[in-house]
Structure 1
């Protein structure tokens, strides 16, 4: 393969004896390195390197202006805006940036295309006047101000241009326009020594400058293929055809250099892969089959540059060397996420910090490193204590004195302004730097150095321009600067695999090309309109539209293919992607316009996923597990443990044998089990002093007066001391009060109806031995009964439920089903177990009933356990007598024997319905 640069140098050597006297102008700096290498290859004797400039550098040289970045231009524009706008109409800087960035983009385009600003702004103002929504003769103040804004655009433009030129600076468009104004004299003196290479889409200023240079002896080499140049409908040659037709230079000169490479033999593989990560993995598979020599002439081009890290982490071991031209974006570093989170906290202006923000910062890998992972223990404490909002002092106390300086930077005591934020960030970078060493953390130190420069630039902007008055505005500029910064990779530029973005591939040629993300919306990028100038006006004045932008992408795409022999084009098939998995129109063009010598193959690649069989898990009982079961039996089986086994033996194994519990998480909204605990504990506080006493109306009245305070106290103990005065937590707080008040009203009505209620026990812990002859170790059962009372001579064993329970859920028919169907019989199992423990411990002289009081079904009162013979029987046995207890004891023992049987594994059940209410 003869590359474009090689053919140009060979041609120039036949015309110019000394290449070092020339100045080459290229579309990008990247191509300059390859040009120097090509000159060295074709030069036998030592020579001085020629001067090589990008078109931007050439424009700066001619105009003698320094190019401003977009951020600084915005600040300069705001100064002019304030000077030319009545004080009562001036917007703050944050609102100003919302429209000013678009306007600066339009100024840039107008100047780059050498359009008379007064004419286009005059047209634009008249269009707005026609389009405004008030068609009556008397315009409102809103409409007047709206139209006045458009009439002021020429004034904004002229003053900004004048001010920048006085300081010998300018945004890119102004630099180009000034260069075009000065090019005549410069071309007359230096035209013969300039060579322009590899250009395609030129703005009007660039066209004018190059034509003037050509008139005075300069040369230009175009890189276009004969197939595309002769096809008048193909966008690859859209611009170059226009130049060949309209430039006066080409009335007497031929076009250099039209090649015939595109229609040569090529192997083109078009592959569809789901997800970006799938493309990265497939790239690795392609590279793994290449030899080192093949990789030396291979370009891996990322259509979507966010694929850089997935590709880098997926590269195979056989890649001998790698040259990365795009740099590692600073915004992808771990420091970027830390600074983003800090800005989010600072801009709230609060001195108490939301727990999620605190945890996000403490879980950042940088903070974990500098605190020696102590931040993880602090996160656990926040979750355990359920701290929703934390002050600087609380966080400092959790850490202790050794981290006080870091905590002061991460969680300031006072609200910050932009200068204060700059100081905090500078001190934080210095603090973090002290925890990294060049030997172990060179990359982190490199990142910190770039952030040090970034923050210094922010500080300079804040000092020079007093427009940034809020941290939100400061954060806007931080993000803009951060998004454009990158850490350069080090490597040998001409060895091994070349990894680059689409724009870095300009002027360069490779035998093998791997191009990712060839998707509609990426290549080409699609329609976008970041401009105040409507489409029709752009067409009238020759400004670029999406049509021209698509043509630029078309040229870059086909240029990559022009001299390549082996081409891999990857596109995303995921229908949830940006454009719904639609492959690029370029791929369809390749298929429709297939050249005779092109070998096109189409593939769909899916990752190898092993079949996953849905099998119920089974755990055999080892000697260690059996020892754990014996220990659990001796300690005592609780109703919740046994019902967990009934529901799913595997859950019992995980919770009670392995001890696996749910991790503590901060309850931002009160959880349902927390609500239940609050209700239980509040009633325990009220009723415990009344054990062995008769309940009276005076007691109920006292309880009602204390409900609000007691519920608040229990929430503080169980949930958090954070206020429950708003949002869902306020509603749940009111629900807890309502539950208790309704329960107390029910108690009051019972007494009004003549029922005598004697409180016997409240929240009593019970434990009894259970003799099982089949087992050679002691077994006990234990539990905590919510309430035991005597009503009109009947002992009631009561279990509180904050969920809704119906009477039918406490009735059983067949004793055999009691330990097999959790959803139907969990509640009677629990209340019978409480009854068994209570009566075995102290037999009752009263008839006994056991049941549930449901706080969501208080109108039904006390829901009693009942035994029926048939499903439709209206009669049922509600008293818990010896026969009931003996039948229950049989089922209980069988269940425990099954749990302790070494031959019966813990077998997972398929649960399709909810677990119900505990």
Structure 2
């Protein structure tokens, strides 16, 4: 309703999602204006003439007039700026919006809280008979009153049957500068206590006040078991107050086990819950869904994220579906693959448009709350209560959207609005107020007295918050018109804090010395006030709760008979070593043990990205297919030019891309990371073909060629299995080519460095072994080609000790000796499988989490 009025009066064309946030701010301002009985027309007027202020607001105090003059006096109307002009234009439109909006609400007989207050005050005399019918009226325990509430109390006071009772302590009441008594001092003057009635004074009496400082925010909860060791803290006489409501769950998990009864009486923000995260996952899935050939497709990653939520934990049926999706490794999954029962039919239902999202969310939540058909009781009553809160607010949002005919065509628009709604949802917990430890927020402690109080998050910026409520009404105008400001807010927090202390005997305050969300890392100002009060003694404790630095222990695997028997299979060639596995051993013996001895594999995961291995595979297989028909033939410049046509490369690359990445289901349109990788691969292939063109003619001996390299080790001849990317013959010489899509190192200082535990030299060692496997056939030259820089001739040459290897026979003897030493070590029963000392080798290792590297 406000949105429609705002658009009609301001001619500002904003989408509803853009207006939603500021609409709440404007509505809050209207609420304040009416509660304080402020003349909205005067407030929202443009008063550029300072003299006009005196004439318009003659009924205000000098302090209020000065505040209004200060604001409008600082507005330089001679200097133009777009921001200032926009504000003044909007400001002058707000009263027409206020007026028409209130007329609309009055006609429909509805209203926000402030409007209802104002309407009541305007018609108080019509209620005289009802109020006079009561023999006694008692007004008890109020503190910060709005002007409308004061007017109501004045009216009741005149009736003569009303008495007022205020809960306060002389400790702050008698100190005119103490903010905790800011409101009470005014109230007692206007509405005195009954004669001969007095509250006892408590804060100044002897108390045990203890202050704990922790190094981390969560450490405040972790200190609770230590505090509860104090024998004076019996459940029934103790309250645990959370100044920061987000600390509820850490506190509940940290309470000692001997506390059997707990009564939580406070609100908890839904935005922190897994239930809301589940709904967000549903919306993300809807946003990424698509239709193809009348089939509904959901993004596989989105489906797996939903199945990985705690609602589906320990569910065998869902785990089977997850494994099925992972094995398929498709980017999108058909709806019929996952809709296996009634509950999943609700979850994986496609909403046609964002306008139906509310119904979809409500249907899923209702299904969850009403039955645990597939969830195996993974949802407790607390979770159901949270889900019901989301359900209720979603229904309201649905009514708002449909009732006001708000057009929602974009997914992102609905999500933005929905998140704004959910950010403000709080779940109120209710329990038995007379049993067990009481856990509550600051506001819930009003008028309650406890012998023992424990207050968590006693930080500046938390109590008081230090943040004024959002408002379009500038500070000086709020102050000038008597609207509540930050000072009033601080005074309210001060009253609640000191009221807690009034009749307590033992107080425990806990604060964190690490920065909170407000950037504060110090104790609350109220704590400092206690520290410096001469009549109070504060016992202070500093708690060290930061976890110690974890020292990684080296992992060394000793050789058992079972391990040696597996290694011996390589000696008798039952298992074959490869240049790649030898590299693994050189770079990290422990990795060799994990990968080739116990064959430890990572759990299957769905991959949306294309990792380095998959990227390389696509490149190699595409190149192999492009040259497949020319194996054994001389390749000329014209042949390469024919292969190099854009259409030929695209068709071949699409075929391999489809097989390797999309499991033979190439999408209609590539996008995102897939499109980027496709274009890079195409670029690399063109670059390599240009290299081939420049180096033609040559004869292709083999592609993806399997060869064997025998080598003597400890009296045994073991076979190293080789797969050569490409072998060509040029000028009566064999050239063994190994293509790398990543960066490479093709120069090394000496053989000691070449066989050092450095992954940078892995490709050199590998291609040299490939070349040695063909050494008996001809003169063989190894080439290591980085397709990124393949057109730079120097990049392709392999050099040891600054000498280019033009014939593998030149280095055969020395290289073979180093390789034999490495293999002798591999088969030595006394050598442990130990971690590499070179941390760079661990960067992309799949086992680094085990080693904590």
Q: TM-score, normalization: structure 2?
A: 0.85
* 1:218-229 matches, cutoff 5 A: 218-229=162-173
Q: In the aligned structure 2, how far is the partner of 1:620 from the partner of 1:338?
A: 46
Q: In the aligned structure 2, how far is the partner of 1:395 from the partner of 1:384?
A: 14
**Pairing 1:679–2:679 present:** no
Cα offsets for 1:704-761 (capped at 9, x unmatched): 122232223322233343477555554443332232222222222223xxxx522212
Greater mean deviation of Cα atoms: 343-352 or 150-159: 343-352
- Offset of 1:599 from its aligned partner? 2.5
Q: In the aligned structure 1, how far is the partner of 2:129 from the partner of 2:75?
A: 47
> Corresponding residue for 1:901?
828
> Corresponding residue for 1:718?
660
> Corresponding residue for 1:558?
498
The CA RMSD measured in Å over matched residues stands at: 3.7
* 1:184-223 matches, cutoff 5 A: 185=128, 189-190=132-133, 193-215=136-158, 216-223=160-167
Which of these residues, 763, 780, 791, is aligned with residue 848 of structure 1? 780
Q: Give structure 2 stretches of 5+ with no counterpart.
A: 50-67, 292-296, 846-853
Between Structure 1 and Structure 2, how many residues are aligned?
A: 805
Q: In the aligned structure 1, how far is the partner of 2:491 from the partner of 2:87?
A: 36
Contact 2:782–2:805 (8 Å) recurs in 1:
no
**Pairing 1:879–2:807 present:** yes
Contact 2:772–2:808 (8 Å) recurs in 1:
no
> Corresponding residue for 2:560?
622
Contact 2:180–2:498 (8 Å) recurs in 1:
yes
Distance of aligned partners of 1:320 and 1:98 in 2 relative to their CA distance in 1, 3 Å threshold: closer
Cα offsets for 1:439-469 (capped at 9, x unmatched): 8855155555555544444444445432364
**Pairing 1:889–2:816 present:** yes
Which of these residues, 716, 740, 747, is aligned with residue 692 of structure 2? 747
Q: In the aligned structure 1, how far is the partner of 2:781 from the partner of 2:378?
A: 72
**Pairing 1:435–2:372 present:** yes
* 1:817-828 matches, cutoff 5 A: 818-823=754-759, 825-828=761-764
> Corresponding residue for 2:848?
none
> Corresponding residue for 1:772?
713
Cα offsets for 1:569-611 (capped at 9, x unmatched): 111222364324233222222222x243x33122221227456
- Offset of 1:144 from its aligned partner? 9.2
**Pairing 1:604–2:542 present:** yes
Cα offsets for 1:151-190 (capped at 9, x unmatched): 4433333343344345543211122223334445268605
* 1:828-839 matches, cutoff 5 A: 828-839=764-775
Greater mean deviation of Cα atoms: 114-123 or 516-525: 114-123
Contact 1:191–1:213 (8 Å) recurs in 2:
no
- Offset of 1:376 from its aligned partner? 4.4
Distance of aligned partners of 1:679 and 1:385 in 2 relative to their CA distance in 1, 3 Å threshold: same
Q: Give structure 1 stretches of 5+ with no counterpart.
A: 1-74, 869-873
Q: In the aligned structure 1, how far is the partner of 2:145 from the partner of 2:735?
A: 92
Q: In the aligned structure 1, how far is the partner of 2:9 from the partner of 2:288?
A: 30
- Offset of 1:491 from its aligned partner? 3.8
> Corresponding residue for 2:306?
361
Q: Secondary structure of 1:829's partner? A: helix
**Pairing 1:396–2:335 present:** yes
**Pairing 1:709–2:632 present:** no
> Corresponding residue for 2:837?
910
- Offset of 1:319 from its aligned partner? 0.6
- Offset of 1:538 from its aligned partner? 1.5
**Pairing 1:341–2:289 present:** no
Q: Secondary structure of 1:402's partner? A: coil
> Corresponding residue for 1:424?
360
Contact 1:191–1:214 (8 Å) recurs in 2:
no
* 1:386-535 matches, cutoff 5 A: 386-388=329-331, 390=332, 394-399=333-338, 402-403=340-341, 406=343, 409-413=346-350, 415-418=352-355, 420-432=356-368, 433-436=370-373, 443=381, 444-467=383-406, 469=408, 478-479=418-419, 482=422, 489=429, 491-535=431-475
- Offset of 1:520 from its aligned partner? 1.9
- Offset of 1:501 from its aligned partner? 0.5
Contact 2:458–2:509 (8 Å) recurs in 1:
yes
Q: In the aligned structure 2, how far is the partner of 1:441 from the partner of 1:496?
A: 25
Q: In the aligned structure 1, how far is the partner of 2:9 from the partner of 2:807?
A: 89
- Offset of 1:124 from its aligned partner? 7.1
**Pairing 1:105–2:43 present:** no
Distance of aligned partners of 1:481 and 1:909 in 2 relative to their CA distance in 1, 3 Å threshold: closer
> Corresponding residue for 1:796?
735
Contact 1:363–1:375 (8 Å) recurs in 2:
no
Q: Secondary structure of 2:713's partner? A: coil
Q: Secondary structure of 1:259's partner? A: coil
